[in-house]
Chain A
Amino acid sequence: MVESVIERITRGHFWDFHGGIHPPEQKFLTSNKPIKQLALPKQLIIPLQQHIGREGDLLVTIGEHVLKGQALTLSTNPMVVPVHAPTSGTISDIKMSVIAHPSGLNQLCIFLDVDGEDAWRKRNVCYDIEQLSNHEIIEKIADAGIAGMGGAGFPTHIKVNSKPDINFLIINGAECEPYITADDLLMMEQSNAIVDGIKILDKLLNPAFILIAIEDNKPKAIKALQQATTSIEKIKVCVVPTKYPTGGEKQLIQILTGQEVTSGQLPIHAGIVMQNVATCFAINEAVRHDIPLIRRVVTVTGQALNKPQNVWALLGTPINFLLEQCSVQNIENEKQPVIMGGPMMGFSVSSELVPIVKTSNCILVPSKVEMPSAFEKESKEVECIRCGQCSDVCPSQLLPQELQWSAKAKDHAQLKKLNLSDCIDCGACAYVCPSQIPLVHYYRIAKAEIREQQQLDLKAEKAKIRFEARKLRLEKEKIARQEKHKKAAAARKAAMNKATPEATGAKSAVAAALARVKAKKASKDQAQTNVPDPQGDLPTDSADDQKSQVSAAIARAKAKKKLKEEAVNKLSLDSGIVSTKSEVEADKVAPTEQPTVDDKKAKIAAAIAKAKAKKLSKSAESSNTVQAPENMVSEKIASSDDKKAKIAAAVAKAKAKKKLKEATSFANNDQDSV
């Protein structure tokens, strides 16, 4: 099998994948200019997460000075790759900022003020990779923060740390997206470094064959790599026909090996590993030169630029710096699309502060002439006429027109049946659609919805399990309690029958329990009549505790009742009167209770008074201004150790809050009705 594949490849025969398109390549804009080294930008914005997975733990603080190549985050799990300082400077801020993502949402970013010295941290250069064990190499790759640079950004150290036998290591230099020439230029200029990187991968994976796939529209890159690999038998440079999306992982595997990657599986299951050429370059830098992934080649192109070219951009460079360097033409009052990535799969960025990240290979600023559809304000979408051109070009052999209907109808079951998950978002269908339907956009929404639905289902399932578990627990507790009660009763009976000195004690205990029950009942009744939300009684262990709680509850209920009456009747009274009055009330409350601590009363009263004062002032104004009494109350409570008072104060506070809410809502209603 492997042999025949190689035979075919040496003869220059390849398989073909279904569909595909030939959009205008427009690579000439940048393909004949060398990669430019840029001056250091003033500030870098480094997002903590630049790849698939999660962000690492921060290692630096605001104000800290960092050296070039210093790690800024720490990887705590394999799916996390660290980020590094692309140059030396001072961390000026760590805050949420807009990141390179189609949503334009904010994520945590490190703002690095560049000091211009570009001072390196200590580097541990190692030219002889034979000295290193595989484990050490993988560690170096992981520490260098390398994630797939072709687009998806899968952590590289996971990909190269695979156990099974690898038949093919495929180096992806196809670069099938129009406009982009970053890999092309890198192959031309750094072919030896790339081959060195490939050798490192060879040592790690030990594949049967290494295939470097390059589309036939890059003759210089093909020549450079052929020259660099002439001495190595194992490596074959495969010149594949130009067609979009040849560079897609699944498509390239099909072209080179004739195999299909089974849906839902990774290429590794078929003994195939694919790496991007830029990733190979980065691996070489990391392993041999101890340079973490801090820069990459970015194609800055499009006819709206005067000087489109490839540049070495530090990660974190805001795109406005790149655009300035390539002289963006002045476009008056026109909404200019700026696309990160290529015209087929890139996304438009929402802000000029979006930084370059590990996966950004292109910044495309098209003019209106070359890409009119990117400027269209309204969708020109008309009805689908089922012409089937989309299914003719779909590289996954899906039925885009049927998917589109199901996506619009939110028929998730049908979408699954039509294998929506096998869509690679390549955009070929939308490119050819004569009805100009933004097909990919519909699929993306549908995919996001399905994903969310799956998460909701999982969550619901979990909630159900937890609910059932809770029910079971409550049931058990109830039975245990009953058991305990029964035992206690039996014990009491036995004790009484004995008629020993303990019996009197038991009797009195029974009497006490009866009294407690009565008191509880009374408080409950009161609570039910007076308080809007009846408070359930807590099962407590000791009788004493319960007693004090009952009394406290009664006190609370009373206080609440009074409070309410006050609120209804005395809204217009000023706070001075209220405070004296509430003191009187507090006295009135006192005789009915059995206080355990004397100053408790006073504290409750004070808290109530405070709350009232607050409430009054608030309701008087009703205009949602922050009130001083609130702070005073909380301060007072903080100083006081007494829990009861604190509770009372909190209750008062809550009441006051409720009142305030009502008052404001009334006020609002009044305003509305006016």
Chain B
Amino acid sequence: MAFWIASSPHNHNHTKTPNLMRLVMYATLPGVIAQWYFFGWGNLIHIGLAMATALICEFTVLSLRKKPISHELFDGSALLTALLIGICLPALAPWWISVIGTMFAIVIVKQLYGGLGHNPFNPAMAGYVVLLVSFPLQMTLWQPPLTLVAVDLNFTNTLTTILTGFTVEGYSVEQVRTSIDGFTMATPLDTLKTNTGLGLTVLESIKNPVFGDNFALGWEWVNAGFLLGGLFLIAKKAIAWQTPISFLISLFICSFISYSLSPDSSASTMFHWFSGATMLGAFFILTDPVTGATSNKGRIIVGLLAGLLVYLIRTSGGFPDGVAFAILLCNMSAPLIDQYTRPRTYGHLKGDK
């Protein structure tokens, strides 16, 4: 027997970063399943593509950086990034969209800044924004819910569309996206934006079939799925509740104010909550600890700021959804917010830093 020297504490609660990442990935399941149910296989295929790309990129960069590969490759952070990118992408976007997006996210946004824990921006959102800015056409290839699509989008059809741009039967992406009535379908947010731009009132716009019976056909259930997963994460204490709650409240307040001022030109509060990437952003991206604020006060401020930015971009910006941009802007301001929201240390007076 020999004695073993270690520093205290000698005990640990056995939590591990990879486990945390895995938990977050499991929590996306309800949303992903809803996405699959309403929009078909497209996003699942993109998730697969992105994950494969992420692993390859991570492996390459880690070996170049001479880092312990087995240790870091499977810490789950790259896979989570890939998963989020896959979820965000338009279902019928070509395959290289997810590959390029993931490569950018992993190689440049994450690893070149020093790897896990050192990236100032959320890799998934930065990758998404790069795609949105660089390939605006492909990034608008949103697929309408399956119920509105004329072509039968089974797995093979989706796969061939993503890989070649045509279904097995030879329909092009544009044809697939064209509804039974002959209109090209966009997302509810996009549609609303275009229509209000054309001078239509919100009430007139939401007659469009993409809005469905409630707020946004399909999208509302996807968002509900992510909400469920997010609540699960909060219950598990895997994420802090402050960020998503303050974000949702902020978005609610903004949309409520404008809705009460001019109901004709503003969408309802619930429409804002349950369309686009609201819930995904609130619970899965904004809560990314690496790029968010650390103190509780800071988290609340970041959430409020993000809600305001999302609302502003959605209503007055050039893009239909603003979650990605809002989150990147919040990432930028997080260190500053942290700097000014340091808690008062025990035994120190307030302001006496």
Contact = CB atoms under 8 A, between A and B. Distances in A.
Nearest to B292: A386
Nearest to B237: A389
B6 A338 contact: no
A366 B115 contact: no
A337 interface: yes
B118 to A, nearest CB: 7
A23 B14 CA distance: 11
Contact of B295 (A178, A391, A422, A438): A391
B316 interface: no
A434 B20 contact: yes
Contacts of B353: 417, 419
B289 A350 contact: no
Interface in B69-119: 71-72, 75, 77, 115-118
B289 A387 contact: yes
Given A419-B348, A434-B19, A23 B11 contact: yes
A668 interface: no
Interface in B48-66: none
A266 B15 CA distance: 36
A414 B2 CA distance: 40
Interface string B1-33: 111111111111111110110000000000000
Contacts of B12: 373, 430-431, 433, 436
Interface in B293-348: 294-295, 342-348
Nearest to A21: B13
B202 interface: no
Interface string A227-268: 000000000000000000000001000100000111111000
A395 B346 contact: yes
Interface in A326-368: 330-331, 334-339, 341, 343-352, 364, 366
Given A386-B117, A399-B295, A440 B13 contact: no
Contacts of A402: 294
A18 B5 CA distance: 31
A208 to B, nearest CB: 23
Contact of B343 (A348, A397, A440): A397
Contacts of A336: 1-4
B114 to A, nearest CB: 8
Contacts of B118: 383
Given A336-B1, A388-B240, A388-B294, A419 B345 contact: yes
Given A104-B5, A348-B4, A385 B117 contact: yes
B231 interface: no
B76 to A, nearest CB: 11
B290 interface: yes
A382 B353 CA distance: 30
Contacts of B290: 385-386
B7 A438 contact: yes
A345 B7 CA distance: 9
Residue among B5, B71, B118 with the highest chain A CB neighbour number at 10 A: B5
A337 B1 CA distance: 10
B345 A338 contact: no
A436 B292 CA distance: 20
Contacts of B16: 434, 436
A471 interface: no
A17 B343 CA distance: 14
Nearest to A387: B289
Nearest to B288: A385
Contacts of A430: 9, 12
A348 B346 contact: no
Given A391-B294, A399-B295, A344 B115 contact: no
Given A417-B353, A422-B347, A385 B4 contact: no
Nearest to B20: A434
A178 B240 contact: no
A334 B344 contact: no
A415 to B, nearest CB: 13
A387 B20 contact: yes
Interface in B192-229: none
Nearest to A251: B346
A6 interface: no
Interface string A94-117: 000000001010000000000000
Contacts of A433: 12, 15
A375 interface: yes
Contacts of A419: 345, 348, 353
A418 B343 CA distance: 10
A444 B7 contact: yes
Contact of A337 (B3, B71, B77, B289): B3
A236 B72 CA distance: 54
Contact of B13 (A23, A262, A417): A23
Given A334-B1, A386-B289, A432-B13, A440 B8 contact: yes
Given A263-B348, A348-B4, A399 B11 contact: no
A582 interface: no
Nearest to B12: A373
A382 B343 contact: no
Contacts of B3: 335-338, 348-352
Interface string A441-477: 1001000000000000000000000000000000000
A351 B77 CA distance: 42
A397 B341 CA distance: 12
Residue among A335, A352, A364, A372 with the highest chain B CB neighbour number at 10 A: A335
Residue among A345, A397, A401, A444 with the highest chain B CB neighbour number at 10 A: A397
A24 to B, nearest CB: 8
B294 A260 contact: no
Contacts of B289: 385-388
B133 to A, nearest CB: 27
A382 B346 contact: no
Contacts of A431: 9, 11-13
B10 A337 contact: yes
Given A337-B5, A422-B347, A431-B13, 6 more contacts: A344-B9, A350-B5, A364-B10, A419-B345, A438-B7, A440-B7
17 contacts: A260-B347, A263-B348, A334-B1, A335-B4, A336-B1, A337-B3, A344-B8, A373-B12, A382-B71, A383-B117, A386-B292, A391-B343, A397-B346, A431-B9, A434-B16, A434-B19, A435-B117
Interface of B: 1-17, 19-20, 71-72, 75, 77, 115-118, 240, 289-290, 292, 294-295, 342-349, 353
Interface of A: 17-18, 21, 23-24, 102, 104, 178, 250, 254, 260-265, 330-331, 334-339, 341, 343-352, 364, 366, 371-376, 382-388, 391, 395-399, 401-402, 417-419, 422, 425, 427, 430-436, 438, 440-441, 444
Closest 10 A-B residue pairs measured CB to CB?
A427-B9, A383-B117, A263-B347, A335-B4, A441-B7, A374-B10, A373-B12, A343-B11, A387-B289, A396-B346
